[in-house]
């Protein structure tokens, strides 16, 4: 579903207010947050998507890591989860069992208790988690509190969508590139979240809307302009080469329709970057807006804890609500 379609659907809802809600549908944040005590709040999120790899166990892990990431993006600690599964009635139940095992293993590694879930019969496999986490009300990290002068840090390379698309449509991805993409999608954002707490102005994770779309939501919600320096963007091996060879991730067209009007592109920007920034990512990294004085400290700690984070741009008071890529 495009962002415009979602906004239209939400417009049918009557106004809803509740003093307990700290983060709701008024922003494009990764999770909703509700206060349950003066010093305690719960963050809630849900995500479901189609398989991105053939191995059911690996897909289960990826889907769980992807869902839990929304809690990390809010600066929260995930606590518990429910499986959400759509499964064809004619498939071997062992596929479902392996998928659930992969999800449970990833959840347990994150300290998340699996409480059960809901299954429904569907023509195609769909899997994800509904996740609940905890965050202190005064330490919530949203995507709408970025400030001009802030520095944009990305904690994972881009290109998972491109590699998945190339494998599905052409089968031209090498084993090493495929393994690198799978490892990246299975990589938790837990460490990045822990490091950013107390240092981040704003944060979001890079998923279906791609870098351009997720960055625009931050810029729009915060009333600032974002500048992305394409040459600094980390990418998976061969991702740019695959795009140059004509591989276009399935979400690019929809993301362009939704966000291109808010983007400005440098005259010398290579065409492959124009496609890369609109490509959907699966279980992508965090895009963190950090105060300049905190940036070096954050990068040192991230890199010391084996998170290959890099500065990819900055925030400005010029052109609020736009993303400039050059």
Do 121 and 86 touch, CB atoms closer than 8 A?
Answer: yes
What pLDDT is stored for residue 93 in this prediction? 97
Report in angstroms the alpha-carbon separations of 80 from 45, 154, 205, 211. 11, 27, 20, 28
The rounded distance, in Å, linking the Cα atoms of 326 and 310 is: 17
Q: pTM (2 decimals)?
A: 0.95
* CATH H-level, domain 151-325: superfamily: PurM-like C-terminal domain (3.90.650.10)
The rounded distance, in Å, linking the Cα atoms of 72 and 156 is: 14
Look up tokens 């879930």; give the residue: 117
For 19-139, CATH number out of 3.30.540.10, 3.40.930.10, 3.30.750.24, 3.30.1330.10 equals 3.30.1330.10
What does the domain layout of the chain look like in residue ranges?
Answer: 19-139, 151-325
The rounded distance, in Å, linking the Cα atoms of 191 and 63 is: 18
Look up tokens 């399935």; give the residue: 250
What pLDDT is stored for residue 143 in this prediction? 96
What pLDDT is stored for residue 135 in this prediction? 98
Per-residue pLDDT of the chain (326 residues; tens, 9 = 90+): 777 888 889 889 888 789 999 999 888 999 999 999 999 999 999 999 999 999 999 999 999 999 999 999 999 999 999 999 999 999 999 999 999 999 999 999 999 999 999 999 999 999 999 999 999 999 999 999 999 999 999 999 999 999 999 998 888 789 999 999 999 999 999 999 999 998 899 999 999 999 999 999 999 999 999 999 999 999 999 999 999 999 999 999 999 999 999 999 999 999 999 999 999 999 999 999 999 999 999 999 999 999 999 999 999 999 999 999 99
The rounded distance, in Å, linking the Cα atoms of 76 and 127 is: 23
Query: Cα-Cα-Cα-Cα dihedral of 70, 213, 288, 144, to 10°?
Result: -80
């Amino acid at each position: 579903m495009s962002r415009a379609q979602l906004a239209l659907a939400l417009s049918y809802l009557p106004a809803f207010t509740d003093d307990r809600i700290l983060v709701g549908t008024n922003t494009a944040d990764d999770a909703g947050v509700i206060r349950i005590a003066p010093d305690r709040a719960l963050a809630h999120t849900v995500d479901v998507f189609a398989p991105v790899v053939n191995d059911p166990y690996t897909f289960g892990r990826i889907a769980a890591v992807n869902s839990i990431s929304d809690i990390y993006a809010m600066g929260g600690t995930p606590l518990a989860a429910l499986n959400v599964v759509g499964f064809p009635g004619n498939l071997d139940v062992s596929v479902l069992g392996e998928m659930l095992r992969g999800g449970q293993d990833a959840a347990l590694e994150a300290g998340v208790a699996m409480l059960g879930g809901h299954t429904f019969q569907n023509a195609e496999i769909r899997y994800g988690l509904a996740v609940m986490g905890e965050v202190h009300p005064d330490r919530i990290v949203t995507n709408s509190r970025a400030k001009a002068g802030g520095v944009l840090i990305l904690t994972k390379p881009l290109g998972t969508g491109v590699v998945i698309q190339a494998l599905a449509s052409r089968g031209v991805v090498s084993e090493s590139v495929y393994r690198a993409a799978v490892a990246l999608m299975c990589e938790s954002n837990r460490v990045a979240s822990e490091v950013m707490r107390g240092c981040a102005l704003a944060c979001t994770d890079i998923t279906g809307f791609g870098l351009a779309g997720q960055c625009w939501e931050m810029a729009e919600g915060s009333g600032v302009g974002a500048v992305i320096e394409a040459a600094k963007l980390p990418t998976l091996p061969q991702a740019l080469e695959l795009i140059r060879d004509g591989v276009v991730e399935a979400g690019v067209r929809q993301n362009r329709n939704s966000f291109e009007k808010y983007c400005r592109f440098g005259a010398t920007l290579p065409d492959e970057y124009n496609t890369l920034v609109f490509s959907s990512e699966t279980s992508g990294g965090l895009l963190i807006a950090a105060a300049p004085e905190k940036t070096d400290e954050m990068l040192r700690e991230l890199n010391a804890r084996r998170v290959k984070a890099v500065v990819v741009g900055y925030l400005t008071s010029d052109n609020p609500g736009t993303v400039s890529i050059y």
